[in-house]
């Protein structure tokens, strides 16, 4: 669906050349929600603006359904952009226009008749859950409602791709969840390809199928969300994953400051193991005691992923047998500390 090949973007300042996007190559499948995550300055927002040529690439190519966006100009580019909707962090609504008039704006530019516009606006109002607010102005709306208007406006021309640049960053957690649920619903109902830019890993966890991690303009890691959660390879990815797969309380303080014997072990397991009593099986089958220190299960689009810290007490031989059993059950077991 979307192919990025050797994509780079450099900005020239008075004193130096700053490379915001550095030789990025990615493939995004039709109908998937693809997340791009990174801290501020990683280049992710510049990257998403290259997808619809709001920024012009220094080198490389963007193709959508086989058509090169980077080579388009004038009317051809404007036509291509009608198939790429965009949702912004700060809504970018027209404050002198009502909800209905904001949603209708792209349709006016496309020179649709008033009858066609009104019909499409009402469809979109219903889709994003803004019934009864058609005549309200942005100043009369909550943050979540404003973003729903932004999403409806981005969908006005029936785009094939929806770009979301930090679409939930200005919202509180509860409103963020409602907007993410809306995007998931739109993805399923319309089969829309969504590219989502964020610095928040819980956003990736909740709705994305695959994720690319950016650092200093480069993609340092990419893959299915559940796979990246389970086995992050790069330091940056591990930082993001740790934010939501491990308990909020600092594990090291609990794990390493207790003056107790035994082995402290971190267990990592997927959804099919979350409901199985593997801890009780360990206690019954081996001469060990198990104390659960802390744990957390995180839900993703492709299933859940759990992380659990336990302390196993017993002889070295019995502890090793217990760990071997867990690994045979496809549960990752990493010994954090022996005492």
Residue 293's domain comprises 249-338
Residues 142, 175: Cα–Cα separation, whole Å: 10
The average pLDDT across 7-20 equals 92
Residues 198, 204: Cα–Cα separation, whole Å: 8
The reply to whether 65 and 43 lie within a common domain is: yes
State the pLDDT at residue 257.
47
Q: Cα-atom radius of gyration of the chain, to the nearest Å?
A: 24
Q: What is the pTM of this model?
A: 0.81
The average pLDDT across 151-170 equals 94
Q: Report the range of poorest mean pLDDT among 197-201, 257-261, 284-288, 334-338.
A: 257-261
Residue 135 has pLDDT above 50, yes or no: yes
Residue 309 has pLDDT above 90, yes or no: no
Residue 155 has pLDDT above 80, yes or no: yes
292: CATH? 3.30.70.260
More confident residue, 113 or 278: 113
Residue 307 has pLDDT above 50, yes or no: yes
The average pLDDT across 274-282 equals 81
The average pLDDT across 260-273 equals 76
The reply to whether 240 and 257 lie within a common domain is: no
Residue 316 has pLDDT above 70, yes or no: yes
Residue 28 confidence class, pLDDT cut points 50, 70, 90: very high
SS3 for the chain is CEEEEEEEEEEECCCCEEEEEEEEEEEECCCCEEEEECCCCCCHHHHHHHHCCCCCCCEEEEEECCEECCCCCHHHHHHHHCCEEEECCCCCCCCCCCHHHHHHHHHHHCCCCHHHHHHHHHHHHHHHCCCCCCCCCHHHCCHHHHHHHHHHHHCCCCCCEEEEECCCCCCCHHHHHHHHHHHHHHHHHHCCEEEEEECCHHHHHHHCCEEEEEECCEEEEEEEHHHHHHCCCCHHHHHHHHHHHCCCCCHHHHHHHCCCCCEEEEEEEEHHHHCCCHHHHHHHHCCCEEEEEEEEEEEECCEEEEEEEEEEECCHHHHHHHHHHHHHCCCEEEEEEEC
State the pLDDT at residue 249.
45
Q: Which of 203, 218, 244 is the last residue of a domain?
A: 244
Q: Which of 222, 244, 266 is the last residue of a domain?
A: 244
Q: Which of 68, 31, 62 is nearest to 46 (CA)?
A: 62
The reply to whether 164 and 260 lie within a common domain is: no
The reply to whether 256 and 230 lie within a common domain is: no
Residue 318 has pLDDT above 70, yes or no: yes
The reply to whether 134 and 280 lie within a common domain is: no
Residue 275 has pLDDT above 70, yes or no: no
91: CATH? 3.40.50.300
The reply to whether 48 and 82 lie within a common domain is: yes
The reply to whether 147 and 208 lie within a common domain is: yes
State the pLDDT at residue 338.
61
State the pLDDT at residue 308.
84
The reply to whether 226 and 283 lie within a common domain is: no
The reply to whether 332 and 296 lie within a common domain is: yes
Residue 126 has pLDDT above 60, yes or no: yes
Residue 303 has pLDDT above 90, yes or no: no
The reply to whether 229 and 253 lie within a common domain is: no
State the pLDDT at residue 228.
87
Q: Which of 193, 224, 244 is the last residue of a domain?
A: 244
Q: Report the range of poorest mean pLDDT among 40-49, 193-202, 296-305.
A: 296-305
Residues 322, 315: Cα–Cα separation, whole Å: 11
The reply to whether 208 and 276 lie within a common domain is: no
Residues 3, 64: Cα–Cα separation, whole Å: 7
Residue 253 has pLDDT above 60, yes or no: no
Residue 250 confidence class, pLDDT cut points 50, 70, 90: very low
The average pLDDT across 91-99 equals 95
Residue 49 has pLDDT above 80, yes or no: yes
The average pLDDT across 39-60 equals 93
State the pLDDT at residue 274.
62
Total domain count for the chain? 2
- Taking all residues of the chain, what is their mean pLDDT, rounded to a whole number? 88
Residue 258 has pLDDT above 80, yes or no: no
């Amino acid at each position: 669906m979307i192919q990025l090949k050797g994509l780079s973007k450099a900005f020239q300042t008075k004193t130096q050349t700053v490379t915001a996007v550095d030789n990025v190559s990615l493939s995004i499948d039709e109908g998937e929600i693809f997340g791009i995550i990174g801290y501020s300055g990683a280049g992710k927002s510049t990257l998403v603006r290259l997808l619809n040529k709001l920024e012009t690439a220094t080198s490389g190519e963007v193709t959508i359904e086989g058509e090169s966006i980077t080579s388009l100009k004038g009317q051809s580019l404007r036509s291509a952009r009608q198939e790429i909707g965009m949702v912004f962090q700060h809504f970018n609504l027209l404050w002198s226009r009502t909800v209905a008039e904001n949603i209708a704006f792209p349709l006016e530019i496309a020179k649709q008749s008033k009858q066609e516009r009104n019909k499409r606006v009402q469809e979109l109002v219903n889709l994003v859950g803004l019934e009864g607010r058609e005549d309200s102005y942005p100043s009369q709306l909550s943050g979540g409602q404003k973003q729903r208007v932004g999403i409806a406006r981005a969908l006005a021309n029936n785009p094939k791709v929806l770009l979301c640049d930090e679409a939930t960053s200005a919202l509180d957690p509860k409103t963020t969840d409602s907007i993410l649920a809306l995007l998931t619903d739109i993805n399923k109902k319309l089969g829309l390809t969504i590219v989502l830019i964020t610095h928040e890993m819980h956003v990736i966890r909740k709705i994305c199928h695959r994720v690319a991690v950016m650092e200093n303009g480069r993609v340092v890691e990419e893959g299915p969300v559940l796979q990246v959660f389970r086995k992050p390879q790069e330091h940056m990815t591990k930082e993001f994953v740790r934010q939501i797969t491990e308990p909020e309380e600092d594990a090291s303080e609990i794990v390493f400051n207790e003056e107790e014997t035994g082995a402290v072990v971190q267990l990592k397991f997927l959804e099919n193991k979350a409901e199985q009593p593997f801890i009780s099986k360990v206690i019954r089958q081996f001469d060990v005691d198990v104390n659960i220190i802390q744990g957390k299960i995180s839900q993703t689009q492709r299933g859940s992923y759990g992380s659990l810290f336990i302390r196993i007490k017993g002889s070295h031989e019995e502890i090793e047998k217990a760990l071997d059993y867990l690994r045979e059950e496809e549960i990752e077991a990493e010994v954090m500390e022996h005492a």
